[in-house]
Amino acid sequence: MAGMRLQIIGCHSATPRLLARPSAQVLEIGNSPVLIDCGEGTQMELRRLRLKFTRIEHIFISHLHGDHFFGLPGLISTFRLLGRERPLHIYGPKGIKEAITLLLKLGESWINYPLHFHELEQGTSDTLLEAKGFTVKTFPLKHRVPTQGFLFRELPGLRKLKPEVAESHGISRAYYLKIKQGADAIAADGRTIPNAVLTEPPAATGSYAYCSDTAFDPELPGHIRGVHTLYHEATFLHTEAALAAKTGHSTALEAGKIARAAEVNRLILGHFSSRYNSLDSFRKEAQQEFLNTELAADGKVFDWAEL
Amino acid sequence: MAGMRLQIIGCHSATPRLLARPSAQVLEIGNSPVLIDCGEGTQMELRRLRLKFTRIEHIFISHLHGDHFFGLPGLISTFRLLGRERPLHIYGPKGIKEAITLLLKLGESWINYPLHFHELEQGTSDTLLEAKGFTVKTFPLKHRVPTQGFLFRELPGLRKLKPEVAESHGISRAYYLKIKQGADAIAADGRTIPNAVLTEPPAATGSYAYCSDTAFDPELPGHIRGVHTLYHEATFLHTEAALAAKTGHSTALEAGKIARAAEVNRLILGHFSSRYNSLDSFRKEAQQEFLNTELAADGKVFDWAEL
């Protein structure tokens, strides 16, 4: 069972409303929470949902539209007021450092913890982070301003030792860690016991791709092929395909096409326009292309337990 | 009866929490709502409180600390998304234009309505606005960064005509507007009838001074003397007077002293620190100096009906 867990903080486009919060998500991965996008009011929602947000060390901002970004200055300030000491890493488009630095300077609110900016070149496809237990890559999205997606992968853990088999061969416990790491072992009688006899594969690992906002992009599946769970924006239904293309957004049908082409396991739709009162049509439309489709909702939790 | 009405959107210091929102207020004056400070999440609260916030044409920002200012970029963007056409005027410390302009530029979110910035010199005492029915002045506060207070005054309306008196003198209705504006009138028999005989004084006018944040400042009463209602910050109780002085804030006792020295009619305390669970001590402490003290609370309405 993979240890990943995703909680949607907000999944609605544009203007924040009371029951339609702008984009933000907390992904628990490798026993660490990371924040993905940070619309206005995110810090209040993190408190309301009782998430231990001071543990967040990495924040990924897809682009600099307000509904993905205007909660970040306040969160950074709040970390200071809470006496934060651990470093904070912020990944986002060029300009994010200038914006945050100017706001802190105007308020003479100097940060007393290490704050590191990692500015992303538009259109790049790079590894951003190799942390304990997980990696993060970025890939390009097609929107009106420079926008990047993020791909999170758990790293495999240790192989699972079969202690009864090791004992039956009289193998010393001193070798158990090496065996879990994949080594063969020497039995009491001098024979070499292959690792595959002594262990089972490690627990399955989870993976997650975040794509918001983007126009329909046939090149996108190449960046995320085989990812377990894909969050793909679906601002509009396909009756508004022309408007979606014009504004750099996707329809639910297009999100389904991407999920199918990328051979993912699960699709989560989000970034819904405020023009729709009911969202059930979004799922039905995407399911014409990709059956295992779910709808994001503010506060909703997704896990990877079925792996 | 004066036509002013104040609704507190948030009145708590520093970190926004679910039931302790950062500073923002809507003042209805001269049939116009104006916004005073704009902490993060203000636009969501304006919606929740069902305030017709698109009518706001003037926004006054006291200083550039996040808890008074980080909701402004989102509100400006939302006005654009709602198709605003009427102009918006923003009054605030130097740097506010650069900050907002940078955020709009990074998001390529050009405003399609007239947006006017009025940057305030630190320490000035000027008239900012003479609008239909009201005036706004600014005055200096003493905080860690450049901070200005704001003084709002309703302008007197027309004098109230006594129609039965005018008719008894045979005065033509054609003169009624001039009489309401203060002119004497000629009776049917040629005599001059003094205005004071024909009219009563206009309705009383309201006034309001907003002081947040500030250290105790003995010069402050000189700027606001005789104002009807004073909102004065009281971040701490007087047991923390040293901390208040060090951080550029006031205690409830000090706020009471200012209200008494300025000979105001009513004191509203706000900007409470999160360290206090109960706020009743704030009122009691201020009442040692000034009896007519009330506590601000998120969502609470104050009116000037008793004038």
Alpha-carbon distance A148 to nearest alpha carbon in chain B (angstroms): 14
Q: What is the pLDDT of residues B246-283, one digit of tens each?
A: 999 999 999 999 999 999 999 999 999 989 988 999 99
Which of A14, A106, A145 lies nearest to residue B64, judging by beta carbons?
A106
Average pLDDT, chain B: 94
Distance CA B155, CA B144 (A): 34
Q: Which residues in B lie closer than 8 A to residue A103 (C-beta atoms)?
A: 64, 66, 70, 99
Per-residue pLDDT of chain A (307 residues; tens, 9 = 90+): 468 999 999 999 976 666 789 999 999 998 899 999 999 999 999 999 999 899 999 999 999 999 999 999 999 999 999 999 999 999 999 999 999 999 999 998 888 899 999 999 999 999 999 998 999 999 999 999 999 999 999 998 899 999 999 999 999 899 999 999 999 999 989 999 999 999 999 988 999 999 989 999 999 999 999 999 999 999 999 999 999 999 999 999 999 999 999 999 999 999 999 899 889 999 999 999 999 999 999 999 999 987 6
A107 contacts B44? CB cut-off 8 A: no
Active site residues of B: 67
Q: Which residues in A lie closer than 8 A to residue B98 (C-beta atoms)?
A: 102
Instruction: Name the residue in chain B with its Cα closest to that of A83.
Output: B15
Which of B18, B106, B144 lies nearest to residue A48, judging by beta carbons?
B18
B15 contacts A82? CB cut-off 8 A: yes
In the three-class reduction of DSSP (H, G, I as helix; E, B as strand; rest coil), residue B196 is classed as: helix
Query: Parallel, antiparallel, or unpaired for β A115-120 and B192-193?
Result: unpaired
B107 contacts A65? CB cut-off 8 A: yes
Question: How remote is the C-alpha of A252 from its chain's centroid?
Answer: 20
B108 contacts A78? CB cut-off 8 A: no
Q: Which residues contact A284 (CB under 8 A, 6 or more apart)?
A: none
In the numeric block, which tokens belong to residue A104? 């802190």
A82 contacts B47? CB cut-off 8 A: no
Helix (H) or strand (E) holding A222: helix A220-224
pLDDT of residue B273: 94
A16 contacts B74? CB cut-off 8 A: yes
Alpha-carbon distance A69 to nearest alpha carbon in chain B (angstroms): 10
Q: What is the pLDDT of residues B189-209, one digit of tens each?
A: 999 999 999 999 998 899 999
User: ∠ CA B46-A269-A267 to the nearest 5 degrees?
Assistant: 155
Confidence of residue B3 (pLDDT cuts 50, 70, 90): confident
Class of domain B5-157+203-303: alpha beta
A102 contacts B66? CB cut-off 8 A: no
Query: Parallel, antiparallel, or unpaired for β B148-154 and A115-120?
Result: unpaired
Flag whether A213 is marked binding.
yes
Instruction: Name the residue in chain B with its Cα closest to that of A42.
Output: B41
Closest CA to A99 of A31, A36, A38: A38
Which of A47, A102, A107 lies nearest to residue B102, judging by beta carbons?
A102
| Residue extents of the structural domains in chain A | 5-157+203-303, 160-200
Instruction: Name the residue in chain A with its Cα closest to that of B110.
Output: A65
- pLDDT above 80: residue B1: no
Which of B14, B15, B95 lies nearest to residue A106, judging by beta carbons?
B95
User: ∠ CA A258-A262-A266 to the nearest 5 degrees?
Assistant: 80
Instruction: Name the residue in chain A with its Cα closest to that of B17.
Output: A44
Q: Which of the residues A37, A67, A217, A298 is marked catalytic?
A: A67
Which of A18, A65, A103 lies nearest to residue B44, judging by beta carbons?
A18
Q: Name which of A17, A18, A21, A40 to mutate to probe chain B: the one with the most chain B Cβ atoms within 10 A of its Cβ.
A: A40
pLDDT over 90 percentage in chain B: 86
Residues of each annotated binding site of B for Zn(2+): 63, 65, 67-68, 143, 213, 271
A73 contacts B70? CB cut-off 8 A: yes
Which of A18, A43, A98 lies nearest to residue B102, judging by beta carbons?
A98
Q: Name which of A12, A15, A51 to mutate to probe chain B: the one with the most chain B Cβ atoms within 10 A of its Cβ.
A: A15
B71 contacts A40? CB cut-off 8 A: yes
Residue with tokens 């916004």: B35
Inter-chain contacts counted by CB atoms under 8 A, chains A and B? 107
B17 contacts A44? CB cut-off 8 A: yes
Q: Which residues contact A41 (CB under 8 A, 6 or more apart)?
A: A10, A16, A21, A22, A71, B40, B41, B44
- pLDDT above 80: residue B19: no
Closest CA to B305 of B231, B219, B203: B203
Q: Which residues in B lie closer than 8 A to residue A106 (C-beta atoms)?
A: 64, 93, 95-96, 99, 145
What's at A106, amino acid-wise?
L
Residue with tokens 């309201």: B206
Alpha-carbon distance B282 to nearest alpha carbon in chain A (angstroms): 23
A69 contacts B107? CB cut-off 8 A: yes
Known catalytic residue at A37: no
Q: Which residues contact A173 (CB under 8 A, 6 or more apart)?
A: none
Q: Which residues in B lie closer than 8 A to residue A16 (C-beta atoms)?
A: 43-44, 74, 78
Radius of gyration, alpha carbons of chain B: 22
